[in-house]
Amino acid sequence: MSNNESVSSSAESIQELDSGLHFDHSFVDQLTGFYVKCQGEKAPSAALVKLNEALAQQLGLKTQNLNDSQLAAMLAGGMQVKGTEGVAQVYAGHQFGNFNPQLGDGRALLLGEVLDTHGERFDIHLKGSGRTAFSRRGDGKAVIGPVLREYLLAEAMYHLQVPTTRALAVVTTGERVMRNQLLPGAVLARVATSHIRVGTFQFFAARGDQESVKRLADYCIERHYPELVDSESPYLALLDKVCQRQALLIAKWMSIGFVHGVMNTDNCTISGETIDYGPCAFLDAYEPQQVFSSIDAQGRYAYDNQPRIGKWNMARFAETLLAFINSDESQAVELATQALERFDDYYYEFWLELMRAKLGLTALSIADAQVSSLQESDTQLITGLLDLMTENKLDYSQLFRALSQTLAGDLSAVKLLFKESQQLKFQAFIDWHQQWRTRIDLEKQTIDDIKISMLGRNPAYIPRNHLVEQVIEAAEQRADYSEFEKLLEALEDPFNERLEFADLTQAAPENFGSYTTFCGT
């Protein structure tokens, strides 16, 4: 791929304007052939809807150096300021199990890498900034609803301590963009430790370009896992590390009831961050087979399938690295298979720790020798609760939050969540509760401390589907962002229950019905 295939050179340039950002383009400098230079399209009238002030400050963005329209134009991609060097990255990917050898940033561009105020490296990416060399039949645009949605979901995940790309800004473009109707155009500025995906490796591996795969692997090790440089077998270590990060990521998704919805290998990062908030959603009622995406007819990316798909994605990653793991192919396959097998162990250990913490089980008072024998019974305790939730269609987040109120023996907070018709089944919960309370007695902490710890692990606020829809409707129909601001404020401190946000803890009204999500931004 030549990198001088510039596309869409409609951006204005004000290179003398200093955004304060310390650009440092390692990907562009070191990985020629992995991208196409590209500029954003100039928006007719870019307007800033939201700037993530704390993140902007962390990145070193000096908003005082730019007037509002310059800042909006820069974040929409149509104005180049000092140091930016836009590119669209190339990648491939397995989409719903089928390999597509040619994808790439079709509606996004990498504005550049910056070193933040702590010297840490981040990509600034603009989603919806116009067509690129990889747009295929797409328009390269994004619309306000999905952009606000990604902002809310990504920031919610960040504050729930889940590795994720973050939202830096929302800008409207002043354009109307055709989806199933004409909608306000918008751009999301997002930030990630990098945008390298399993699909980036697959693009070069599928062409037999081993030299590029190796260059990419070396680059990833240096950028994300420098501790592996001196390892005996750095590429095997890279595979193991990425398996570990993905296992942790998916365990975190499962623990908060998050369904990603489109776990294609092009949406699977090497850094282990959640990326691509398209058809994702949080569970309301706990349902292991839950699928929200309109196009996931087979349930490939159902809630309960996510760990399995995570491992499948890691197998695709392993395939691209085989030649560097060992020169003997059968040896390489054996080593890679062993690394993949460890995914299950990593996942289980992370999941168990996270789920235990949700139940206040964090500090055992018993001898180490007895601890391991608890693994099995704790797993049963957790799955027992999940089964009860499935059977009674209990709201996942509400139930865990309510549990912390029942430690002293008053079960009314949970009883309220059972519908009248289910009260008979409440006895099963009482039985479960007794087992849990017996288990709690093995903990070192006092009941009061356990309650505090549980309240810090089980969010009061998640981006509930009906709330996100209300935000989008207000923005689309009335350019009203007050509901967005309110929900965001709650999500930015999700464990701290506040009276003014009482309505945001409620489950969807009965008439909300079943929820369907869509991929397109």
Which residues of this protein are in contact with ligand AMP, per CB under 6 A? 103-107, 134-135, 138-141, 262, 266-267, 276, 278, 519-520
Q: Which is nearer to ligand AMP, 189 or 359 (CB)?
A: 189
Residue 130 touches which of ligand AMP, Mg ion, none (CB < 5 to 8 A by kind)? none
Q: Which is nearer to Mg ion, 279 or 494 (CB)?
A: 279
CB 412, min distance to ligand AMP, A: 44
CB 221, min distance to Mg ion, A: 24
- Residues contacting residue 411 through CB under 8 Å, at least 6 positions apart: 429, 430, 433
Query: Catalytic annotation on 503?
Result: no
Residue 123 near Mg ion by CB under 5 A = no
Residues in 320-359 at the binding interface with Mg ion, rule: CB under 5 A: none
Integer Rg of the chain from CA? 24
Q: How far is CA 145 from CA 186, 237, 322, 378, in A?
A: 9, 41, 42, 41
Nearest CA-CA partner of 381 in 349, 405, 352, 411: 352
CB 127, min distance to ligand AMP, A: 9
Q: How far is CA 31 from CA 11, 24, 337, in A?
A: 24, 14, 29
Q: Which is nearer to ligand AMP, 134 or 225 (CB)?
A: 134
Q: Which is nearer to ligand AMP, 141 or 245 (CB)?
A: 141
- Residue 238 corresponds to which tokens in the numbers above? 């890279």
Q: Which is nearer to ligand AMP, 165 or 267 (CB)?
A: 267
Residue 278 touches which of Mg ion, ligand AMP, none (CB < 5 to 8 A by kind)? ligand AMP
Torsion of CA 96, 97, 100, 101, to 10 degrees: 140
Question: Which residue has its beta carbon closest to ligand AMP?
Answer: 138
Distance CA 397, CA 381 (A): 17
Q: Which is nearer to ligand AMP, 148 or 332 (CB)?
A: 148
- Residues contacting residue 218 through CB under 8 Å, at least 6 positions apart: none
CB 107, min distance to ligand AMP, A: 4
- Residue 141 corresponds to which tokens in the numbers above? 């645009």
Distance CA 248, CA 348 (A): 9
CB 354, min distance to ligand AMP, A: 27
Residues in 256-295 at the binding interface with Mg ion, rule: CB under 5 A: 267, 276
- Residues contacting residue 365 through CB under 8 Å, at least 6 positions apart: 442, 443, 444
Nearest CA-CA partner of 462 in 165, 14, 156: 156
CB 266, min distance to Mg ion, A: 5
Residue 252 touches which of Mg ion, ligand AMP, none (CB < 5 to 8 A by kind)? none
CB 23, min distance to ligand AMP, A: 23
Per-residue burial over 157-194, b if 16 or more Cβ lie within 10 Å, else e, is bbbbebbbbbbbbbbbbebebeeeeebbbbbbbbbbbb
Residue linked to tokens 């370009």: 209
Residue 183 touches which of Mg ion, ligand AMP, none (CB < 5 to 8 A by kind)? none
Q: Which is nearer to ligand AMP, 76 or 262 (CB)?
A: 262
Contact, 429 vs 418, CB < 8 A?
Answer: yes
**Set 266, 284, 296, 395: catalytic member:** 266
**Any idea which residues carry the catalytic annotation?**
266
Which residues in this chain contact Mg ion in the complex, by CB under 5 A? 267, 276
